[in-house]
Structure 1
């Protein structure tokens, strides 16, 4: 074990790092009134920008002028980006658990393959024609799923008890067409930004509230899910996280939206918040070093955020691999030390009450070697 990892363990203590334990579930009857909202940030969020390891001297050397200058220090190693003020308050309230160095099992750098893998719940792109979240809905006796998305996302396909909603687009704009066009524009960083801005401007919120952005989407999901008889499982997606150039102002804006979105979700869930888990995930991380245009390129190891009244937060989860040259994946990326499926399996078992056998056979096939993440939930 290298000195950086020993230092991290010493700083946090054994209980601060999430460990993977099989069969660490609670009784399913305790979970009948819980809520779970999955938020997918499409484009590959730079986790080292959201949660900079400010105390690691290698971070400053890799990032140079692109390092986050004044993070909100939440422990001896990590801080949150200054735009995440309300999120930092959740951390202090022990309702936020950042998880470092986590990613889907896909280890290449294609947005669409990585997103497909994350949503289908298998170890490979196109590994299933439906999604793990939809299969969760189907495995529960009578629960429903709900997506705030123009088109039903892959993650929620697989059950007839799922629905989606999005503000009406201007007449003549077909959301299916937009979905088909997005991969074409995404191949060019400048065109992808223009496409995102145009489609966001087209999706107007109700009566003069402006573009329907992430905070509004998360509020709608929370309010719908917290209503009497509302769906227990929800999904929200957001684009614009691909930061190849000039990422500091781009991510300052996007992280401020995420911060408002988490606060809006907490408000929208209301009295259901103590029984709620919100998981914020992305398809992969970014390169550890800043590129020549002030941005970062596609990487592997990313991060996730767990937040909610049911989350045992106020600490850092995951196994930090370090940023030294020998510690990076292929000499360029943060190395992934946890599989996102372990997080999803832990939520499905401990929070939604699904049996581990059901997960192995129906929700996450061929995942027997991936133990559910434990120790993250209150109680």
Structure 2
């Protein structure tokens, strides 16, 4: 295993005149190829998205009693979906997808992780998909990697890891590579020679740096979109580019959902980026959008009651957002647990009614034909798959 002092690398990278974000140790997007025409995109929303704000259950009268200052329901600008749920106004660009049956959600979902409410542990459990066993056994890898191990003919695709978020969801024994927008290195010829010299005896970094320079010079997919949602648009567009080629699975993350204080602007920015990424996927995929399922997942939900800082704290039950032409959208999946007395988890959180892994497993079942026993034993060890939510068209 390669060990590298990150501070030493960042210092040397600065001396080379290149961005540390172009280094292959850093990761924001991963891809894999499968012998299938169907596509799966997993977006990890790091920081615990408040599902009660993103998809507002304004039809439950207790919501207004527990959240008096947070904006709620159509009277506050949210977009009514079905008379009970409303879409946060910053997700308004996705309303046409709902109307076309290409957007859906499930409330009251969670991983088996409970009570400690650590972002790091929660994200580990979400990406490992193995249950509530902490610390997570790294030898098992992530659940998307175990999916690859279960599919005959799955292959790796040449790509590189770039960015600031490590995607553990695709770590494991099955071959896979990674890539992200803005992976280009813009170096002078002298700097390129120095970089090649520094990493001459390390094939991983040497080849990654060489190809990043090459791709940055020649690939139109590396163009960066500007503005507050530019990074998210670039991630979505780049993922679509690879999914239109050999890749069939893409995973990337959108951070910035931790809304302990001043939740309105925090979640607003996150929802803007999520909507931009989903629309970039749709636009970039073209006809392949009809064979695509997008799952936007977060490590846990947030407290039902707002706190004294205009925000919400770490909770339990959360929301899963689904998109794509392959889903049966325009509906809410699962039951609503209620927000009344005796209905909350630990008298503070939305009660989780279904394991979020079950939705991912049923998506894999429908998209790639994975047998239920393999899903419950190998891909998501210990999962009770339960009934088919029939989320795919």
After superposition, residues 134-145 of structure 1 pair within 5 angstroms as: 134-144=145-155
Change (3 A) 1:52 1:144: farther
Following superposition, the deviation at residue 208 of structure 1 comes to 7.6
Higher alpha-carbon deviation: 271-280 or 61-70? 61-70
The aligned residue for residue 95 of structure 1 is 102
Higher alpha-carbon deviation: 122-131 or 312-321? 122-131
The aligned residue for residue 202 of structure 2 is none
The aligned residue for residue 45 of structure 1 is 49
- Secondary structure of the corresponding residue to residue 66 of structure 1: coil
- Secondary structure of the corresponding residue to residue 65 of structure 1: coil
Partners of 1:374 and 1:275 in 2: CA distance: 18
Change (3 A) 1:300 1:352: same
Instruction: Render the CA deviation track for 1:262-299: whole Å, top value 9, x for unaligned.
Output: 11111111111111100011000000011101000000
- Secondary structure of the corresponding residue to residue 322 of structure 2: strand
- Secondary structure of the corresponding residue to residue 341 of structure 1: helix
Larger Rg: 2
Instruction: Render the CA deviation track for 1:207-248: whole Å, top value 9, x for unaligned.
Output: 683675222212211221112xx2111101011000000010
Q: 2:372 aligned with 1:356, yes or no?
A: yes
Partners of 2:45 and 2:266 in 1: CA distance: 14
2:319 to 303, 312, 331: 303
Q: When the two structures are aligned, how many residues end up with a matched partner? A: 313
**After the TM superposition, which parts of structure 1 deviate over 6 Å for at least 4 consecutive aligned residues?**
145-148
Please tell me whether the aligned partners of residues 224 and 231 of structure 2 are also in contact (alpha carbons under 8 angstroms): no
Partners of 2:378 and 2:346 in 1: CA distance: 34
2:113 to 95, 106, 110: 106
1:327 to 320, 329, 343: 343
Change (3 A) 1:300 1:148: farther
The aligned residue for residue 217 of structure 1 is 235
Partners of 1:215 and 1:55 in 2: CA distance: 33
Following superposition, the deviation at residue 153 of structure 1 comes to 1.4
Instruction: Return the TM-score normalized by structure 2.
Output: 0.75
Partners of 2:287 and 2:258 in 1: CA distance: 35
Change (3 A) 1:208 1:135: closer
Q: 2:145 aligned with 1:116, yes or no?
A: no
Instruction: Return the TM-score normalized by structure 1.
Output: 0.77
The aligned residue for residue 268 of structure 1 is 284
The aligned residue for residue 154 of structure 1 is 168
Following superposition, the deviation at residue 332 of structure 1 comes to 0.8
After superposition, residues 155-234 of structure 1 pair within 5 angstroms as: 155-166=169-180, 167-168=182-183, 206=223, 209=226, 213-227=231-245, 230-234=246-250
Q: 2:294 aligned with 1:287, yes or no?
A: no
Query: Is there any run of 5+ residues in structure 2 with no aligned partner, and where?
Result: 1-34, 187-221
The aligned residue for residue 385 of structure 2 is 370
Instruction: Render the CA deviation track for 1:187-226: whole Å, top value 9, x for unaligned.
Output: xxxxxxxxxxxxxxxxxx7468367522221221122111
Please tell me whether the aligned partners of residues 111 and 356 of structure 2 are also in contact (alpha carbons under 8 angstroms): yes
Change (3 A) 1:207 1:61: closer
Change (3 A) 1:73 1:126: same
Partners of 1:319 and 1:208 in 2: CA distance: 39
The aligned residue for residue 265 of structure 2 is 249
Partners of 1:372 and 1:231 in 2: CA distance: 29
Following superposition, the deviation at residue 338 of structure 1 comes to 0.7
- Secondary structure of the corresponding residue to residue 133 of structure 1: helix
Partners of 1:370 and 1:217 in 2: CA distance: 31
Partners of 2:94 and 2:272 in 1: CA distance: 10
- Secondary structure of the corresponding residue to residue 91 of structure 1: helix
Q: 2:80 aligned with 1:62, yes or no?
A: no
Partners of 1:165 and 1:46 in 2: CA distance: 29
Q: 2:356 aligned with 1:340, yes or no?
A: yes
The aligned residue for residue 28 of structure 2 is none
Following superposition, the deviation at residue 352 of structure 1 comes to 1.6
Please tell me whether the aligned partners of residues 48 and 257 of structure 2 are also in contact (alpha carbons under 8 angstroms): yes
Partners of 2:364 and 2:121 in 1: CA distance: 24
Change (3 A) 1:169 1:57: farther
- Secondary structure of the corresponding residue to residue 90 of structure 2: coil
The aligned residue for residue 25 of structure 2 is none
Change (3 A) 1:44 1:169: farther
Following superposition, the deviation at residue 142 of structure 1 comes to 2.5
